A = this chain, B = another copy of it.
Amino acid sequence: MKKGILETNIVTQIGFVVHDIEKTSQAFADFLGMEKPAWSLTDTIDKTQSTYNGTPCPARAKLAFFKVGPNVSIELIEPDMQPSVWRDVLNERGEGIHHIAFNIQGMKDKIISLEADGMKMTQFGEYTGGRYAYIDTVSQLKTIVELLEND
Contact = CB atoms under 8 A, between A and B. Distances in A.
Interface string A120-144: 0000000000000000011011110
Given A11-B74, A93-B93, A142 B3 contact: no
A33 B142 CA distance: 17
A14 B100 contact: yes
A141 B27 CA distance: 7
A67 to B, nearest CB: 8
Interface string A78-114: 0000000000000001011100100000000000000
A71 interface: yes
A64 interface: no
A141 B31 contact: yes
Nearest to A16: B142
Interface in A1-53: 1-7, 9-12, 14, 16, 18, 24, 27-34
A69 interface: yes
